[in-house]
Structure 1
Amino acid sequence: MKFNWKQFGIALCLFLAGYLTFNSKLFAQTLEKPKVSIAVGGKNLLYYLPLTVAEQLGYFKDEGLQVEISDFAGGAKALQALIGGSADVVSGAFEHTISMQAKNQIITAFVLQGRAPQIVMAVSNKTMPHYKTIADLKGKKIGVTAPGSSTSMMSNFVLAKGGLKPTDVSYIGVGASAGALSALRSGQIDAIANLDPLITMLQQKNEIRIISDTRTLKETNAIFGGPMPAATLYASADFIKKYPNTTQALTNAMVRALRWLQKAAPEDIVKAVPESYLLGDRPLYIAAFTKVREAISPDGKFPEGGAVTALHTLESFDPTLADKKIDLSTTYTNAFVDKADQKYK
């Protein structure tokens, strides 16, 4: 009997099609919530570069996820989306997990994107050419991405170290791109707390004078007195408990992005991000990335003592935290990252 290769080929294709369909369905069933909405405040910022890499390189899709990312003017707005129920997860600052627990809402960060805040506070050379000390900021207008965001928290901390209270200045939300540039250049604000690539652009054009810089680990430790966790993915404790496999898939994608970033050349970064992120100046973007590269977490893990540093930082300018019992063990977890590290050794 002659072997029919044609029939065998057809049978094999049908088998593989059925096998793959079965496994894709099985895979989808393991994800309790394959469609996930993520809110972020200033997606174009290098602060959130790991999120962009995970999206642009298809890492979320590889995990079986359909991720929809909504961009807001600042982290506080992204947090509001989570609290309001229009977002499942936030790509935002770790400090929010502490500030929300003080309001009796348990939010847990499950993967770390940045091990330094990358936030820079600077004064305008146009409106404050004779700036000398923090005290000179009293009564001035400070531009932040959004009131209540990590940029305003950073500003509050810098002010506190200089003897000023948050109420001694006026905070104005200016976003993280064109709005911030316009506000500074038109003289609407006297100082700014923002991130790269915006800050590097203002530096190169000599439009600002930096008074506090957290783009490097050394300067971050010097300013805060210890490791300071920055950008994270966080969600309500209820979401993580209800959707552990989905949370794991999100973590897997982010850890994979973080590992890619450790090896990627600056030119690779430029190719991976949307053209609009480059502000029309590729060398500028590369220069900015070089300045913040070490601030990006290499593995997604929260450092020991980081939560304590963040709490002490918030307490320095927020007296309402003094009588609050904050359980730092619920503000973050490394459990999902530990599993992701096993997958992407």
Structure 2
Amino acid sequence: MLNRRTFTVAAALGAAAIGAPLVHGQPKLEKSKISIAVGGKAAFYYLPLTISEQLGYFQAEGLEVEISDFAGGSRALQAVVGGSADVCSGAFEHTINLQAKNQYFQSFVLQGRAPQIAIGVSTKNMPAYGGVADLKGKKIGVSAPGSSTNMVANLVLSRGGLKASDVSYIGVGVAAGALTALRSGQIDAISNTDPVMTMLEQKGDVKIISDTRTLKGTQDVFGGLMPAACLYASSEFVQKHPNTCQALANAIVHGLKWLQTAGPGDIIKTVPETYLLGDRALYLASFDKVREAIATDGIVPADGPKTALNAIASFDPTVKADKIDLSKLYTNEFARRAKDRFKA
């Protein structure tokens, strides 16, 4: 027997179906219940995911999405590789690291066109900092070991003549715990995302030594456009669930389109209160800083994957650039369709 709520929903859906045929003849989803793993959802790095979730864009595509938040991208990646999540909202470069281990994963919609990661040294622990060599033997806080915050730190160290083994990496997350770790002197430097880095910078807690929160800063560090946050899944999942991947891409691109015109007040009203870390003004100052780093249409730029590969291969001996097939790292077909649909 239909209970009242089911009947009401069914009646509403029936009326909607009569009143308006399915948008673009939406094909049937192979899987409507989707679990997404993310590492540090409160960071601006994943703002498009949060916006699409909070504004109901996944539901509008017929998806029931469950988002599990982990301390960092490497933990979220483990959940997807291990099969406890279908899709990862994570860093593009993870698809490269996985392929180097003969595991094929594919990005299918881009959320960020710059890593939005800054590295700062503690003004309290290292007041006389003079260069990267001074970090030898120091403790560096990252969201989680193996995450993109760790990757950017490794790149900066290698350019300064240090190896990853010359420092100690400590996982501090991307929220209040990261602020506490730096301010209490538990770590000497930090590689993290916003709003954490802007909060530390504005209070004079850190001196920024490398910054990929802007497109120019990213160009300076990586020598080109560096695709960042994206939704990725195993190539097998993408092949078996094209309509589901299309629905996910649609929801994200819808969120990206909304973000293009959203004002500070709109952002504050949409994200959970805890994301503001107790300081609205600083949260909005951080948003202004990273706004241009957010993708506009979900499409991975043509030269982006090569930039990412060159960066990783420069310090990670397990990644051989000539052995990586760039074309298998991503597909833009879903994002292109979503872009056309939402005029992003």
State TM-score, norm by structure 2: 0.93
Q: Which residue of 2 aligns with 1:84?
A: 82
Aligned residues: 332
Q: Deviations over 1:121-152 (max 9, x none)?
A: 01011111110000000011100000000000
Read off the aligned partner of 1:304 and give its amino acid letter.
Answer: A
User: What displacement does 1:186 show?
Assistant: 1.7
Deviation at 1:187, TM superposition (A): 1.2
Q: 1:336 to 1:190 in 2, by over 3 A?
A: same
Partner of 2:144: 146
- Asked if 2 retains the 8 angstrom alpha-carbon contact of 1:107 and 1:234, the reply is yes
1:30 match: secondary structure: coil
1:243–1:212 Cα change, 3 Å: same
Going from structure 1 to structure 2, the CA distance change for 1:139 and 1:85 (only over 3 Å counts) comes to same
Q: Which runs of 5+ in 1 are unaligned?
A: 1-12
Instruction: Give the distance between the partners of 1:15 and 1:235, measured in 2 at CA.
Output: 31
Q: Which runs of structure 2 are paired with 1:295-310 in the superposition (5 Å)?
A: 295-310=293-308
C-alpha separation between the residues in 2 aligned to 1:91 and 1:276?
20
Q: Which moved more, 1:32-41 or 1:175-184?
A: 175-184
Decide whether the 8 Å contact of 1:28 with 1:34 is kept in 2.
no
Cα deviation digits, residues 45-97 of structure 1 (max 9, x gap): 00100000000000000000000000000000000000111110011000000
SS state at 2:112 partner: coil
Give the equivalent residue in structure 2 for 1:5: none
Q: Which amino acid aligns with 1:260?
A: W
1:285 pairs, out of 260, 283, 286, with 283
CA distance in 2, matches of 1:37, 1:335: 22
Evaluate the alpha carbon distance shift between residue 237 and residue 215 of structure 1 in structure 2; reply closer, same or farther with a 3 A threshold: same
Q: How does 1:147-166 map onto structure 2 within 5 Å? A: 147-166=145-164
Kindly tell me: are residues 184 and 246 of structure 1, through their superposed partners in 2, closer, same or farther at Cα, counting changes over 3 Å? same
1:225-264 mapped onto 2 (5 Å cutoff): 225-264=223-262
Match of 1:67? Answer: 65
SS of the residue aligned with 2:137? coil
Residues 65/139 of structure 1: CA separation in 2 closer, same or farther (3 Å cut):
same
Q: Deviations over 1:293-331 (max 9, x none)?
A: 000011111111100000000011111223761001010
Paired residue secondary structure (1:319): coil
Structure 2 Cα separation of the partners of residues 131 and 278 of structure 1: 30
Corresponding residue for residue 330 of structure 1: 328
What code does the residue aligned with 1:81 have? A
SS in 2 for 1:104: coil
Give the match's secondary structure for 2:31. Answer: coil
Determine the C-alpha separation between the residues in 1 that align with 2:313 and 2:218: 17
Aligned to 1:56: 54
1:18 deviates by 9.3
Report deviation, 1:21: 11
Q: Which of the pair has more CA radius of gyration?
A: 1
Paired AA for residue 157 in structure 1: L
Q: Does 1:313 align with 2:311?
A: yes
- 5+ unaligned residues in a row in structure 2: which ranges? 1-10
Distance 1:262 1:323, change over 3 A: closer
Where does residue 6 of structure 2 map in the other structure? none
Partners in 1 of 2:174 and 2:13 — Cα distance? Answer: 52
**Matched residue SS, 2:323:** coil
Work out which of the residue numbers 79, 94, 104 in structure 1 matches 2:102: 104
Amino acid at match of 2:133: A
1:15-34: CA deviation from partner (whole Å, max 9, x where unpaired): 9549559978xx89700100
Alignment-derived partner of residue 205 in structure 1: 203
5 Å-filtered alignment, 1:12-31, equals: 17=15, 19=17, 30-31=28-29
AA aligned opposite 2:49:
L
Q: Hey, what's the Cα distance between the residues in 2 that align with 1:76 and 1:257? A: 24
| Alpha-carbon separation, structure 1, partners of 2:77 and 2:321 | 23
Q: CA RMSD in A?
A: 2.1
Runs in 1 of length 4+ with deviation above 2 angstroms?
A: 13-24
Distance 1:177 1:244 in 2: 34
1:134 to 123, 132, 138: 132
User: Relative to structure 1, is the Cα distance of residues 245 and 324 closer, same or farther in structure 2, using a 3 angstrom cutoff?
Assistant: same
Percent identical pairs in the alignment equals 64
